[in-house]
Amino acid sequence: MTLIKNFERFVNENLSQKFQIFEDVQISPESGYPDNDVATAEFESWLATPSAAQFRTFAALQQVGGNKLKDASTQASVIFALLKRGQATKKGFLGIGSVTDDDLAKKGFDALKAGTTKLTMTQAMADYTPQGTGFAAKTAGKFYSFDQLLTDPKYNQTTSDIRTVVAFVNEFNTGAFAKGQAQYVISKRLREDGYLDFLSAADVVDTTNLYLYAYKVKGTETATKELTPQEVGGAPAQTGKYGAEFVVGSAEIKPGDKVDAEVEKAATFVADKFPAGKVPDKFQLTSGASTEWNKVNYPQTSGTGPVANPTTDEQKNQDLAYRRGVAFANALNAKLKEKGHPGIDGFVVNWAIGKSGQQANPADRFIDLEVEKNAAAPVKQTAMKVSTTGAKNPVYATTKGQVYEFKLSIA
């Protein structure tokens, strides 16, 4: 086959990405998410603040497949890319001297938590054309994996997994934005024949806005199978109380770990207990922790919402309990939506230290879904309509698909 003359030099000059040229022209965003010096605890501390509410919703929508944006470290890379571009285009908006990545990460997240720098997110929808009843979408250009796009003209009318499209574009755009280069904007790529055009190069240069995406089924939705409650065994199925065996000092939930397994149980329980039409407008959740921090025991305490400026060990323990509750709520919401449930977007996260009244009691590390409180709360109105046939898992047929299209900027 004949390649465009000097194609490799052209793409290197225009995108500064690492591309590979095979028998089929293939693009791989190998340098997508930028390396950064953001500490996980620093990112999670900001993520638990009210100013990060929109980003938490975005992050919760990323819990699908092998998407790298499921991980807190990758999510931190997105915020770092925004800080890096803002510093470059706004002539030191974090102050003179913020030149190293370490300075940028520290000053940037300090400013975000203080409210002197703000993350702005707007949300729209981008259409695509589904193929069949699964995740296939009509694309011009073949998304071979989460990090490979084949752009040979023979792929002018093909299909790709829409989740793979979203994951690829998110990584590509983050790297391109950090360098001031062109991004893919999905809402501008739907052709008249119904195919999303990825044969042509990324072409939207926007030094202010980073375009990121999240998968969503929308349009004419018909559930051909029903969510059937499953027995999860023991007290959790009756009480809505789950273990919270996080890694020491961390609020991150990783696929396959003990907390992730508890989230899966909780999602099955909530889908049964609070189906569409019975979801509370504000869903209460309590995150428990023991009284011990750094081998010192502190008094029994409780509260609601983030802990302002946690500086003492006692406050850090309270803050960690709250952030773990937020992480559990976000993961639960994402798993519910994977199951065809409308999800729970309005969480109220409470925290409780030493609820048992005993010092250093491991049983005080828990997540309580507050079943009685939530059952009595006002119900959230929803327009979700499904038909059921008695099987266990939902499968959707849809005539039009959409993905969330987010524009993120920092000022």
pLDDT digits (tens, 9 = 90+) for 14-27: 444 433 333 345 55
Residue 399's pLDDT is: 56
Helix axes 72-89, 162-178, angle to 10 degrees: 40
Q: Which two tokens stand for residue 395?
A: 């499968």
The number of angstroms, rounded, from the C-alpha of 21 to the middle of its chain's C-alpha atoms is 31
Most confident residue range from 15-24, 133-142, 314-323, 330-339 = 314-323
**For the residues 293-310, what does the mean pLDDT come to?**
90
Supply φ then ψ for residue 46, to 5 degrees. -70, -40
**For the residues 135-152, what does the mean pLDDT come to?**
87
Q: Confidence band (pLDDT; 50, 70, 90) for 242? A: very high
173-196 burial, b for 16+ CB within 10 Å, e for fewer?
bbbbbbbebbbbbbbebbeeeebb
Q: In what order do the strands lie in the sheet with 158-161?
A: 158-161, 136-140, 196-197
Q: How far is CA 1 from CA 28, 69, 154, in A?
A: 20, 36, 11
Give the model confidence (pLDDT) of 152-190 as tens digits. Answer: 889 999 999 998 899 899 999 998 898 888 999 999 999
Residue 407: strand pairing partners = 122, 211
Residue 411's pLDDT is: 76
| Distance in angstroms (rounded) separating the CA atoms of residues 189 and 266 | 38
Helices (H), 137-208: 162-178
Residue 40's pLDDT is: 82
Residue 379's pLDDT is: 67
Q: Confidence band (pLDDT; 50, 70, 90) for 9? A: very low
Residue 231's pLDDT is: 30
Pairing of strands 196-197, 136-140: parallel
**For the residues 48-68, what does the mean pLDDT come to?**
78
Q: What percent of the chain has pLDDT over 70?
A: 78
- Whether the per-residue pLDDT at 98 is higher than 70: the answer is no
Note whether 251 and 324 are within 8 A (CB). yes
Q: Name the least confident of 47-56, 85-94, 272-281.
A: 85-94
Residue 230's pLDDT is: 32
Q: Name the pTM for this structure.
A: 0.54
- Which residue ranges form the domains of the chain, and what is each CATH number? 7-219+401-410 (no CATH), 236-375 (3.30.1330)
Note whether 351 and 303 are within 8 A (CB). yes
Task: With CA atoms as reference, report the closest residue to 209 among 81, 295, 106.
Answer: 81
Residue 102's pLDDT is: 82
Residue 339's pLDDT is: 80
Q: Confidence band (pLDDT; 50, 70, 90) for 198? A: very high
Helix axes 101-114, 40-47, angle to 10 degrees: 20
Note whether 123 and 108 are within 8 A (CB). no
Supply φ then ψ for residue 11, to 5 degrees. -70, -35
Task: With CA atoms as reference, report the closest residue to 138 among 155, 126, 152, 117.
Answer: 155
Q: How far is CA 12 from CA 27, 172, 210, in A?
A: 11, 14, 21
Cβ-in-10-Å burial (0-12, 13-18, 19+) of 149 comes to: buried
| Distance in angstroms (rounded) separating the CA atoms of residues 185 and 175 | 14
The number of angstroms, rounded, from the C-alpha of 159 to the middle of its chain's C-alpha atoms is 25
- Whether the per-residue pLDDT at 288 is higher than 90: the answer is yes
Q: Which sign, positive or negative, has the C-alpha torsion 264, 270, 272, 273?
A: positive
| Distance in angstroms (rounded) separating the CA atoms of residues 105 and 297 | 33
Q: Confidence band (pLDDT; 50, 70, 90) for 30? A: very low
Task: With CA atoms as reference, report the closest residue to 60 among 69, 49, 73.
Answer: 69
**For the residues 194-212, what does the mean pLDDT come to?**
91
